[in-house]
Amino acid sequence: MSEPIDSNAKPLKEKTPEALWTSPVAWLATAGGLGYAPVAPGTFGSAGGVLLFLGLSGLNLPLYALTVVTVAVVGVWASDRAELVFDKKDDGRIVIDEVAGQLITLTPVLVLAGSPVAGPLGLGIGNLTWWVLVVTGFVAFRLLDIWKPGPVRWAEQNFRGGMGVMADDLLAGVFGGVLMTLPCYGLLLHGLSGRVASAL
């Protein structure tokens, strides 16, 4: 999966963590260095996506969506350049794709369950439950990213360059978001029914 590619102008220093201080491409593609983790860099990248989600969870939906799209677009560019830097296709150190996919998977949590930062949406969803949803979204995305069901595997195998790096994780993120809609919507209905019952 990580095949060498032809690159005639790649600074060798960009293959090391020290490159973070001199290369915007390495900094972006490795999600601020998370991709240099000695084990499971993809999991570290997803964890970075969760942390970014927590920082963004106070935004309204349009701004959050714009941020996710920006991360995805920048990710395509940075991943395309990073393949030359690391001289491998979809090098394991490139984890900005995991960041973007994780943000997509967690979108239903923000939409349907609110945020402890901005305040729950009055649906009777406690903070502990909200954190359980976030952890569930993290696990769901990791499983989909590793398993790569049908279309996700197809995207990985049929796109090239930066889009080839990003497409499968973005699609895994969409599938994860669909899965997360079920518990979030269930909690929404539960919260509403509880409020109706208490009002009667």
Give CA angle at 165 (153, 25), nearest 5°: 170
Give this prediction's pTM. 0.83
- Is 125 among the domain residues? yes
Please give the structure tokens belonging to residue 167.
Answer: 């497409």
- 6 inside domain: no
Total residue length of the chain: 200
pLDDT digits (tens, 9 = 90+) for 28-53: 999 999 999 999 999 999 999 999 99
Q: Please name the residue that has the structure tokens 């491998």.
A: 88
What pLDDT is recorded for position 198? 54
Would you state the pLDDT for residue 86? Answer: 83
pLDDT of residue 112: 75
User: Would the pLDDT of 11 be above 50?
Assistant: no
Q: Report residue 194 CA to chain centroid gap.
A: 33
pLDDT tens digits for range 162-181: 999 999 999 999 999 999 98
Provide the residue range defining the domain that includes 75: 12-194
What mean pLDDT do residues 122-146 have? 81
Chain centroid to CA 196: how far? 36
Task: Name the pLDDT band for 87 (thresholds 50, 70, 90).
Answer: confident
What is the percent of the chain where pLDDT is above 70?
74
- Is residue 1 one of the residues assigned to a domain? no
Gyration radius of the chain over CA positions: 18
- Check residue 12 and give its pLDDT: 40
With respect to residue 55, please indicate whether it lies within any of the assigned structural domains. yes
Number of domains in the chain: 1
174 in a structural domain: yes
Go through 125-146 and write b for each residue having 16 or more CB atoms within 10 A of its CB, e for each that does not. beeebbeebbebbbebbbebbe
Say if 7 falls within a structural domain.
Answer: no
| Predicted local confidence at residue 14, as pLDDT | 56
Query: Residue 191: which pLDDT band, with cuts at 50, 70 and 90?
Result: low
Alpha carbon distances (Å) from 32 to 39, 93, 97, 170: 16, 11, 13, 19
CA distance readout (Å), 116 to 69, 80, 110, 124, 125: 23, 36, 10, 12, 10
Is 36 a member of any domain? yes
Tracing tokens 């084990």 back to the chain, one arrives at 39
* pLDDT of 17 above 90: no
Dihedral, 43, 44, 46, 50 alpha carbons, nearest 10: 130
Decide if 154 is inside a domain: yes
- pLDDT tens across 100-132, in order? 999 999 999 888 766 665 444 444 445 777 888
The pLDDT value recorded for residue 58 is 82
State which amino acid sits at residue 14: E
State both tokens at 188. 């929404």
